Amino acid sequence: MNLILPEHYDPRLTVRETQEAIKYIRDTFQKEFGREMNLERISAPLFVEKSSGLNDNLNGVERPVSFDMAFLPGETVEVVQSLAKWKRLALHRYGFKPGEGLYTNMNAIRRDEIPDNLHSCYVDQWDWERVITREQRNLETLRDTVRNIFKIIKHMEHEVWYKYPQAVKHLPDDIYFISSEELEAMYPDDTPKERENKITKEHGCVFLMKIGEKLSNGQPHDGRAPDYDDWQLNGDILFWFETLGCALEISSMGIRVDETSLMEQLKKAGCEERKNLPYHRMLLNGELPLTIGGGIGQSRLCMLLLDRAHIGEVQASIWPEEMRRACAEHKIFLL
């Protein structure tokens, strides 16, 4: 069982008070996030047809939950693993223009996830996407967007402090930018996670850029699907989480592939056959808008702001009984 049990842990809020705080954070954040980022709230699917090519294959090894439907003979339907591609298609279908965007609630099931303090088989996040111009496909746009998201999260700290001063976690005042290649050069003998922990502990909050491409050691820092993020224009927002002694990823995001980077990354990933899927054909034909987007973990944001030791304290999911017992003995009450 992979579980961290902090000594002298105190959740500071009862389970019912925690539920109230979760609702407050989710309701408040999504309103402020939508307003500050110029995003409209839309509805999103729980599942998509496998043949559409819309589902995210993550690192390529995770098995999506799939089933059939009586009115779709011969078709397999999959629970979404993320909405990275679907959002871009929605922006096209709904007529969004540069500077405009959308956000939605994304719920997914990760059947192969190993549960621990930070990971659950249930994923809940705000997925968002915004249309940009060809000229905006650069690091400056990415950095400016990251700074804006950090500002919104930082403002949420003050909102939560006002209502729950005894429970809020205090966040750093700034975010530090570094590429995965620069980080590997700093700590060549460490694993990717060890590197993340060291740089995030030093700076408090980090945006780790350019994830997916192979580094000088021949390995990528982390896996990324080749057909949504441009590996040169993406990254993760990480906060140092002292309660667990590790970096906590709050968001994965980036500028999305265009026609050129899609074909380059499909070739590098050895899956050029995807270019024949409906979504990929639209992208290669120039029918889809250029976009930037990502996801922000709802439960992880609540976990961060309320300084909780386990994601199960802020979301209802399934946990091993041994984990439930061990957590209860240390005042970690899983929903």
Catalytic residues: 56, 110, 125, 236, 249, 252
**Tokens, residue 189:** 């003998």
Q: Are the C-beta atoms of residues 222 and 238 closer than 8 Å to each other?
A: no
Structural contact between residues 129 and 116, judged by C-beta atoms closer than 8 angstroms = no
In contact, 88 and 291? CB cutoff 8 Å:
yes
Q: What 3 state SS string does 30-89 have? A: HHHHHHHHCEEECCCCCEEEHHHCCCCCCCCCCCCCEECCCCCCCCCEEECCCCHHHHHH
